[in-house]
Amino acid sequence: MQIKNILSKAMQLFGIKSNRTKNITKHVFLSSIYKGGHIVCSFLLVPLTIDFLDTENYGVWLTLSSFIAWFSFFDIGLGNGLRNKFAEAKATNNLDFAKGYVSTAYYSIGSICVVFFLLSMLIGYWVDWTKIFNTSIEMKEQLQLLMPVVFGCFSLQLVLKLITSVYVGDQNHSINGKISFLSAALSLFIVWILTLTAHSSLLLFGIIFSALPIVILLFLNIYAFTGKYKVYTPDFAFWKKIYFKDIFGLGFSFFVIQISVLVLFSTDNFIITQLFGPEEVVPYNIAYKYVGISNMIFTILLTPYWSSITEAYAKGELDWIRKAMKNLMKFMVGILLIIIVLVLCSPWAYAIWLGDKVIIPFGLTLSMALFFAISMIYTPFNFFLNGVGKIRLHMIIFLVAAVINIPLSIFLVKATDWGINGVILATSICIFPNLILFPIQYYKLINMNAKGIWNK
């Protein structure tokens, strides 16, 4: 109750009157708390994990996690399609459509994940994972046992994670932050226990960290569908082709974007592992995590706006969207200043955080800062386009960038002496066109004069 009073007084002080804006403010506040806790736990987790696994095994786990993330495209964009369509159905009070979208998404992705898991078991039996992750032959037995567990948990997670699309589509924007915080806090506690009671084991570590999100998401699904969202509980009788077309029509573009983004942002670990060895993945990921504090903060501010923009656009409330985008531009300038501070403070921050466990070159931090600065500048426009579902151009841009990224990364590594900096610089080059094209599309749409590709 005290927190609600503080929030209410703060909103009055800043003249916040719109219910939608009040809801955004509330969830930004809650997300700040969750993300702050997540950041603290994540940073404490790195040195503990290195102590438990050693640098090579930690590098293997980071690469393995990125590798598994590539398969998140198996939801074929239905998660984001559900998010937008559920928000639209709620905004227009069409409860049957809302339940139909939820039921269709759950049963469709559930079927896909069963097929995916069976295929992964069949193919994985013949794969030598030590070659995939460029590690020693001694790791073969652990990896052969671990990979089926990881794939199985990942398949379940794809289905269970749909509940977050329901929450976010209903303007409960802080739910992902809450889940991330709980996962990070439990992970930190478990790794601390492991360092005290168990011998180093990638297998044990991988099983625990794969199963943990499943437990949290399963509890959330049970809680939601026996409580607030009971009326939307998945029912196979509500699976209909028309619902699938609605969420898949929009979801397919999100699907292509998801694959493209995965290639852009998740292949870096794999490229570094193959060209430099798994040990070099560690400094790269530490620099990414450190400078990525800026992205975490910006995401806290941005995330509530996606579904709120969907609702406002469906109701034709363009003035609210214009005001919201002006606020996001101000936030973006503040985030760029935070990136500069992070870079300047990085030598001291790394020393306090990691001691002499891992050395992070200043050039790597600088390259990472350039990447995040470019991302921050176009992200508000990206969220607007996602919210209104006008993402055809978005899809094409990211698809082209994904095709270019891997060969460009390899070229910059081999043709220059930039080392692993070349990998992140290649990604920065690939996303640079977004700085020009996304704002142009936003201004065309908000001024109601978008035509052709700009209006798709």
Q: What is the 3-state secondary structure (H, E, C) of 91-141?
A: HCCCHHHHHHHHHHHHHHHHHHHHHHHHHHHHHHCCCCHHHHCCCCHHHHH
Residues 6+ apart with CB under 8 A from 437: 393, 397
How many domains are there within the chain? 1
Q: Is 436 a member of any domain?
A: yes
Q: Is 4 a member of any domain?
A: no
Q: Is 10 a member of any domain?
A: no
Query: Tokens 């896909």 sit at which residue?
Result: 112
Q: Is 28 a member of any domain?
A: yes
The band of 343, judged by pLDDT with boundaries at 50, 70 and 90, is: very high
Residue 11 has pLDDT above 70, yes or no: no
Interatomic CA distance for residues 116 and 52, integer angstroms: 32
pTM of the predicted structure, to 2 decimals:
0.63
- For the stretch 210-254, pLDDT in tens is 888 889 999 999 998 898 888 888 888 888 877 777 776 655 666
Give the domain range for residue 43: 19-455
Q: Is 8 a member of any domain?
A: no
Q: Is 13 a member of any domain?
A: no
Q: Is 11 a member of any domain?
A: no
Q: Is 3 a member of any domain?
A: no
Residue 40 has pLDDT above 70, yes or no: yes
Could you tell me the two tokens for 305?
Answer: 């706006």
Residue 75 has pLDDT above 70, yes or no: no
Q: Is 16 exposed, middle or buried (0-12, 13-18, 19+ CB in 10 A)?
A: middle
- For the stretch 351-390, pLDDT in tens is 888 877 778 889 999 999 999 999 999 989 988 888 787 8
